[in-house]
Amino acid sequence: MKQFISTEDVPGVPRLVDIALDYKKNPHKDKGLGENKTLGMIFLNPSLRTRLSTQVAARNLGMEVVVFNIDKEGWQLEMNDGVVMNGNTSEHVREAAAVMGQYFDIMAIRTFPGLKDKQEDYSEKYINQFIKYAGVPVVSLESATLHPLQSLTDVITIKERWTAPRKPKVVMTWAPHVKALPQAVPNSFAQWMNAWGEVDFTITHPEGYELDPKFSGSAKIEYNQEKALEGADFVYVKNWSSYQDYGKIINSDPAWMVTNERLKNTNDAKIMHCLPVRRNVVIADEVLDGPNSIVIPEAGNRVWAAQAVLSEILKNGK
Amino acid sequence: MKQFISTEDVPGVPRLVDIALDYKKNPHKDKGLGENKTLGMIFLNPSLRTRLSTQVAARNLGMEVVVFNIDKEGWQLEMNDGVVMNGNTSEHVREAAAVMGQYFDIMAIRTFPGLKDKQEDYSEKYINQFIKYAGVPVVSLESATLHPLQSLTDVITIKERWTAPRKPKVVMTWAPHVKALPQAVPNSFAQWMNAWGEVDFTITHPEGYELDPKFSGSAKIEYNQEKALEGADFVYVKNWSSYQDYGKIINSDPAWMVTNERLKNTNDAKIMHCLPVRRNVVIADEVLDGPNSIVIPEAGNRVWAAQAVLSEILKNGK
Amino acid sequence: MKQFISTEDVPGVPRLVDIALDYKKNPHKDKGLGENKTLGMIFLNPSLRTRLSTQVAARNLGMEVVVFNIDKEGWQLEMNDGVVMNGNTSEHVREAAAVMGQYFDIMAIRTFPGLKDKQEDYSEKYINQFIKYAGVPVVSLESATLHPLQSLTDVITIKERWTAPRKPKVVMTWAPHVKALPQAVPNSFAQWMNAWGEVDFTITHPEGYELDPKFSGSAKIEYNQEKALEGADFVYVKNWSSYQDYGKIINSDPAWMVTNERLKNTNDAKIMHCLPVRRNVVIADEVLDGPNSIVIPEAGNRVWAAQAVLSEILKNGK
């Protein structure tokens, strides 16, 4: 694996999941693999789980880790080519990425979308500029439109819980929120569910929240949440802003909040969320604190997802 | 030791002091103890000594360290239960603490009081929420009402300097400041002096600055600073805001600043302060730069206090 | 070497360059040298290359590294002696430096000039206060008037590219910028070129941008950029504000921007810059993206410069 931005970079999803689950059993078995290698973690935006779990994963592999909040500890980068840089940006990504590529063996980057310009966000300009100039393998810590470490984690979390001979019914449901959020997590979850293929996958949301078909792909779309959730084995809850009316909150119907009542016709479904979650807005306390929530072990699996990805790049990336 | 929040968590103060002084002689003797263990250091507030000394201590034990300024690199946490999270908080401590507990073997947390609501601060709501949900041992890097790593350091610093057969006279004196400061350091110093028991302990402050009796305990209270300081062997200087008129500066009499003149009737007392100290407001230059100030070696001892605590938790915490 | 602030601390520039180039060939050959030693990196100002390359260098030597953004993660330091600290500064450098000296074996510090008070900046008050009170070797990560890790890097970068029997012609040219920048990089480059002595060194800038003669020394000064660049083998581009009319932009003539046209009479000169560089203000895209730009490998050499300096201090600093 030479980079990790989307499913397209992954030779096989099931194999990567197996590698992650092996690390979960024996976190320090490859402590020599990253010896004398450095991971640079570059944040253009805040992070909790991704930041912390990836550090732990890299150290489990014996890598050095350097964390750099470039937005706070450095300065603003210019992402556009050909610009006369007489404004607020102090350094061009052409230099910043290339220089960091001189220091690090792998670069991991978090960069959120602006949610103003759909074309710019969906071209993944920011992370692609880093990839173009870094000269070393790049790992996404969430980019404008995808969050692959989260989605790999989600596959792992479903896989380790499902032993029945049939495919589990997985339903991703939109839920309300007070802010306009990126589509990165739902796009990515859909892309990975489709690439994995071992689930019966449905997406439910109010009309107007359709995701980019490039990512939703062959998923069933059902506008009636109650109907969608019938018989679900796993319910993946997430808010996102509109892709069509780009970056807008076009509906924030509180009836879409996930409650026990809403979940009563599922197949005793496990509840997943990438976190952070706004309690009693997106999901009710009773669900998060109930026996079916798996959001904490799901977050715990972030370590093994990151460790699988880093190990594959260390083995094959150069 | 399963956590480190107050003296109540410590099986024996003298034993912990001995462990610390052993590490001071041989810092790297237990380099294997923390192998493949990670300390997560979570800051909700700024820090210099605590931050740096605890990192050094953990590395001396071979632990990995991950530092996270959650207030700056993450987002605001919700600490209250049952809330509809449609405001400024993005994640509930129930998730944040539990998730970090998935990544770390020990969590160390700094969280200051608001100084608005005595009951909330003195219930130690913030650090208790972390303890409740982390699922791993929690070490206080200073909480709303106590600063145990500082106080253990202070015991160490007195202990290593006192060889006479009698108990030393230790006087903690309030001193002026321009800001309303927490009672955490004086509460904690009093609690540790009382728990240690090997000192003759007096507290002096203007009327109205009485500490919570739960912490001042059996200490002598003397409102006349000059009288209190007579014959002192150690003078511990610190400002704090009122506990009774909660969080208020009710008196800022500059005559309480610690000067050589004020110290003339002590027993050639050593001068201690937790730092940072505002020079010529709290303590005069002449004292801090004089031969009796031990504030720098006191701060140096922070490493050995933290190392003793972490080692005890690594040995017995789980 | 006991500290690293300027060429005056360096026993021999060529020897230090050789040490650096040896590390470039074998980065991990001295992995045991820094065992159980900690480098404290203290930032009073932002940094990218210096921050990241020095961390990598220290880890290559087996040192622990603690990074502390004292301006953001701590509080404001008082640098003046004898002050009544009732204002915005919370801790005096006398305590802060001395305490950090208790925790670290080497302290590295970045502190920019205010560009208001020439005398204060040129006395190097800030870094000198750290040196005075730290009690351990101090390495400059750029101070008010000098940036020695950058300049050592620049010597390395020229040295490894020049094999002809004659001295290379090195021209440092001022170029326009939108902000008033320190003189630290040009002062330092001049000082190191003069100390190294193995180059034919010219400085060109508009009138009024003369550097402190203490640093420009024996360099040729030429006010006509075109004439200065004739026959140059290396062109070192940098903006700086006026030393005479201290901290002011007295001329921002865009004709001084470095373009291919401007470089046509050089000896196919290699183009250097310390970065960050504002494209199409300081240097044109065509130059930075052209075959003669060596700014990226120059930045890469920062690691070896830092590693040479740290190794010399580890060997001889105490």
Q: Residue written as tokens 């044109």?
A: C284
B positions 251-290 inside 8 Å of C (CB): 275-281, 285, 288-289
In a domain, C155, yes or no: no
Number of domains within chain C: 2
For residue C264, pLDDT beyond 70: yes
> Which residues in B lie closer than 8 A to residue C75 (C-beta atoms)?
46, 48, 276
Spatial contact of A156 and A301, defined as CB atoms under 8 Å apart:
yes
- Does A100 contact C279 at a Cβ distance shorter than 8 Å? no
Query: Using CB atoms, which chains have 3+ pairs under 8 A with C?
Result: A, B
Q: Does residue A222 surpass a pLDDT of 70?
A: yes
C75·B276 Cβ contact <8 A: yes
Q: How far apart are CA B279 and CA B302, in angstroms?
A: 21
Domain containing residue C254: 161-299
Instruction: Look at residue A156 and tell me if it is in a domain.
Output: no
What separation in angstroms does the CA of C244 have from each of A102, A205, C175, C248? 37, 66, 17, 9
pLDDT at position C71, please?
85
pLDDT of residue C7: 98
Whether residues C307 and C281 share a domain: the answer is no
Q: Is C2 among the domain residues?
A: no
C180 and C88 in one domain? Answer: no
Q: Where are the alpha helices (DSSP H) in B79-168?
A: 93-103, 118-122, 125-134, 148-159
Q: Is residue C153 part of a domain?
A: no
Taking CA–CA distances from A71, the nearest residue in chain B reads: B73
**Do B95 and A296 make contact, defined as CB atoms within 8 angstroms?**
yes
Q: Where are the beta strands (DSSP E) in chain A?
A: 38-43, 64-68, 77-78, 91-92, 106-110, 138-140, 169-174, 200-204, 220-222, 234-238, 270-272
What integer best gives the mean pLDDT of chain C? 97
Half-sphere exposure of C138 (CA within 13 A, CB side): 24
Whole-number percent of chain C with pLDDT over 90: 98
Which pLDDT tens digit goes with each residue over B230-278?
Answer: 999 999 999 999 999 999 999 999 999 999 999 999 999 999 999 999 9
Average of per-residue pLDDT across A138-153: 98
Q: Tell whether B43 and B103 lie within a shared domain.
A: yes
Radius of gyration (C-alpha) of chain A in whole angstroms: 19
Question: Would residue C188 count as lying in a domain?
Answer: yes
Q: Would you say residue A152 lies in a domain? A: no
* Cβ atoms A275, B90 nearer than 8 A: no
Say yes or no: B66 contacts chain C, CB-CB below 8 A.
Answer: no
pLDDT for A301 beyond 60 = yes
Residues B305, B105, B65: CA angle, nearest 5 degrees: 65
In terms of domains, do C97 and C206 share one? no
A55 in contact with B at a CB cutoff of 8 Å? yes
- At residue C85, the 3 state secondary structure works out as coil
At B317, the pLDDT band (50, 70, 90 cuts) reads low
d(CA B121, CA B187): 13
Report d(CA A47, CA C4) in Å as an integer.
Answer: 36
pLDDT for the residue numbered A33:
98
Query: Which chains contact A through at least 3 pairs of Cβ atoms less than 8 Å apart?
Result: B, C
Q: Residues with Cβ < 8 Å from C258, sequence gap 6 or more?
A: C173, C175, C235, C237, C271, C282, C283, C284, C287
What is the interface pTM, i.e. ipTM, of the complex?
A: 0.97
Tell me whether residue C119 is in a domain.
yes
Task: Please tell me whether residues B221 and B278 are part of one structural domain.
Answer: yes
Per-residue pLDDT for C318 more than 60? no
Identity of the residue in A275, A281, A296 whose CB atom sits nearest the CB atom of B85: A281
Token pair 């590295």 is found at C108
Q: Is C229 annotated as a binding residue?
A: no
Q: What is the mean pLDDT of chain A?
A: 97
Closest B-chain CA to C101: B300
Segment B170-195, tens digit of pLDDT: 999 999 999 999 999 999 999 999 99
Are C170 and C249 in a shared domain?
yes
In C, residues 76-105, which contact B (CB 8 Å cutoff)?
78, 81-86, 90-92, 94-96, 98-100, 102-104
Does residue B153 belong to any structural domain of this protein? no
Measured between CB atoms, does A132 come within 8 Å of chain C? no
Residue B65 in contact with partner chain A when CB distance is under 8 A:
no
Give the nearest chain C residue to B277 (CA atoms).
C91
CB contact under 8 A, C36 and B43: no
Q: For C40, which of B47, B52, B279 is closest by C-beta distance?
A: B52
Helix/strand/coil (H/E/C) assignment for every residue in B44-94: CCCCCHHHHHHHHHHHHCCCEEEEECHHHHCCCEECCCCCCCCCCCCEEHH
Q: Where are the beta strands (DSSP E) in chain C?
A: 38-43, 64-68, 77-78, 91-92, 106-110, 138-140, 169-174, 200-204, 220-222, 234-238, 270-272
Considering only CA atoms, which of C65, C175, C182, C162 is closest in space to residue C114? C182
- Could you identify the residue written with the tokens 């602006």? A114
* Binary contact (C99, B59; C-beta < 8 A): no
**Following DSSP, what letter does each residue of C97-133 receive, concatenated?**
HHHHHHH-SEEEEE----SS-HHHHHTTHHHHHHHHH
Nearest to A91 by CA among A102, A106, A75: A75
Which DSSP helix (H) or strand (E) runs through B39?
A: strand B38-43
Looking at the structure, tell me whether residues B189 and B265 fall in a common domain: yes
Contact A251, A204 (CB under 8 A): no
C276 preceded by a cis bond (ω within 30 of 0) = yes
Give the C-alpha separation, C18 to C160, whole Å. Answer: 10
Task: Please give the average per-residue pLDDT across A272-280, as a whole number.
Answer: 98
CA distance C148 to chain A (A): 19
Per the structure block, which two tokens stand in for B241?
């805001």
Are the beta carbons of C184 and C143 closer than 8 angstroms?
yes
Per residue in A83-101, pLDDT (tens digit) is 999 999 999 999 999 999 9
Whether the CB-CB separation of C155 and C17 falls below 8 Å is answered with yes
CB contact under 8 A, A52 and B66: yes
- CA–CA dist B151, B140 (Å, integer): 12
Whether residues B124 and B17 fall in one domain = yes
- Gap between the Cα atoms of A121 and B305, Å rounded: 50
CATH number of the domain at B108, please.
3.40.50.1370
pLDDT higher than 80, residue C114: yes
Q: Taking residues B141-147, report their average pLDDT.
A: 98
B177/B203 same-domain check: yes
Provide the residue count of chain C.
318
| Shared-domain flag, residues C214 and C83 | no
Chain A interface includes C146 (CB < 8 A) = no
A273 in the same domain as A203: yes
- For residue B276, is the peptide bond before it cis, meaning its omega torsion is within 30 degrees of 0? yes
Distance CA(A229)–CA(A169), nearest Å, equals: 9
Same domain, B305 and B245: no
